[in-house]
Amino acid sequence: MGITVGELVTRKSYHHDLLFRVAEIRKEIAVLHGEEMRLEADAPIEDLIPAEGRDIEMRQEKEKEKEEYSFRLFRQDYQLMKEKRNYNATDGYLQDAQFFQLPAKVLHLDGDQTYLRKCISLYQRIGLQVHGIHLNEKEMPNEIASLVERIQPDIIVITGHDAYSKNKGMKNDLRAYRHSKYFAETVREARRMNPNLDQLVIFAGACQSHFESLIRAGANFASSPSRVNIHALDPVYIAAKIAYTPFMESVGVWDVLRNTLTGEKGMGGVETRGILRTGIPYLEEKEEE
């Protein structure tokens, strides 16, 4: 029985390094989507081996451990930020004042429906309000303006699948990348709506994306400086760090990257102000008599 769409496979020529899901089959070539990494690749059918149940379980367990470790790091970081915010908001007199916070609104565009579900689950776990939209990467430039106008987000995540192909050109040639061109066009369209890097924070990119073009287009953060694969959940941690940092504080690039699963080889960006605003007093809503 041959390879089928939706099946989990590994590649013999890459020593079974990553787990892929077969997205499409064109004659004898399979289009593959990374199961954990935001990578899209083509491979001959003959190069693929169906992943076995135990192998899938072991890989998924390993990934779950990595994800939980990253989440614990973020929670520790969040707790420290929260304590600092509480102290600063009340000048140290925590017992005498209650305050409220205006949460950031995130617009997350994703070229992969499965990744989008995983990301939304993590946003909810972290406590962020998110509008998740599944769009093919090529459609994103045409849709972003109306979405920004309708949702009025503070943070935009533009991601999905990407890949660099050395057969198509040098690493500085945007045409050698599967979807970087569309990510860059989407960023430019969003920046046309709001050119201020501190009023609208943008992350763009996926595995092996053309980092420089995304930053030049107006992204605050992007992938992938070293053209490496990035984890499916990394964009969420970047959005969360910005969302929970007070707007009076700048966030250093390393502070943003340290809780991601990929780190500085896969992510980079520019110093950016936080989004969170705190107010006093906190008034509980009372039912009208």
pLDDT digits (tens, 9 = 90+) for 105-129: 999 999 999 899 989 999 998 888 9
- The answer to whether 161 and 207 have CB atoms below 8 angstroms apart is yes
Alpha helices in 100-153 (DSSP H): 113-126, 140-151
- Note whether 113 and 40 are same-domain residues: no
Query: What distances in angstroms separate CA 154 from CA 65, 68, 146, 205, one per listed residue?
Result: 31, 27, 15, 18
- Note whether 44 and 77 are same-domain residues: no
Does the residue 117 lie in any domain? yes
Does the residue 243 lie in any domain? yes
Does the residue 221 lie in any domain? yes
The pLDDT score that the predictor gives to residue 263 is 79
> Which pLDDT tens digit goes with each residue over 62-87?
888 877 877 787 777 777 776 766 66
Alpha helices in 152-261 (DSSP H): 180-193, 211-217, 234-243, 253-257
**Listed residue (46, 27, 33) closest to 7, CA to CA:** 33
- Note whether 259 and 153 are same-domain residues: yes
By percentage, how much of the chain surpasses pLDDT 90?
51
The count of other CB atoms within 10 Å of the CB of residue 140 is 26
- What are the strands, taking DSSP E only, across the chain? 8-11, 20-26, 29-34, 40-44, 48-50, 100-102, 105-110, 129-134, 155-159, 201-204, 221-222, 250-251, 268-269, 272-273, 277-279
- Note whether 18 and 88 are same-domain residues: no
CA distance 13 to 164: 17
- The answer to whether 66 and 243 have CB atoms below 8 angstroms apart is no
Task: Check which CATH number belongs to the domain holding 170 and give it.
Answer: 3.40.50.280
Query: What distances in angstroms separate CA 102 from CA 179, 223, 241, 258, one per listed residue?
Result: 34, 29, 15, 25
Largest CA distance in the chain: 73
**Listed residue (230, 97, 40) closest to 222, CA to CA:** 230
> Which pLDDT tens digit goes with each residue over 50-63?
998 888 888 888 88
**Listed residue (156, 140, 158, 162) closest to 227, CA to CA:** 162
CA distance 162 to 205: 8
Please tell me whether residue 283 adopts helix, strand or coil conformation. Answer: coil
First to last CA, the chain: 70
Number of helices and strands (H, E) in the chain? 7, 15
- Note whether 100 and 158 are same-domain residues: yes
Does the residue 63 lie in any domain? no
Does the residue 285 lie in any domain? no
The residue segments making up the domain with residue 108 are: 70-279
> Which pLDDT tens digit goes with each residue over 205-235?
999 999 999 999 999 999 999 999 888 888 9
Judge whether residue 240 has pLDDT over 70: yes
The pLDDT score that the predictor gives to residue 284 is 64
By percentage, how much of the chain surpasses pLDDT 70?
90
How many domains is the chain partitioned into structurally?
A: 2
Please tell me the pTM assigned to this model. Answer: 0.85
The pLDDT score that the predictor gives to residue 180 is 97
- The answer to whether 242 and 256 have CB atoms below 8 angstroms apart is yes
CA distance 206 to 231: 8
pLDDT band at 101 (very low <50, low <70, confident <90, very high): confident
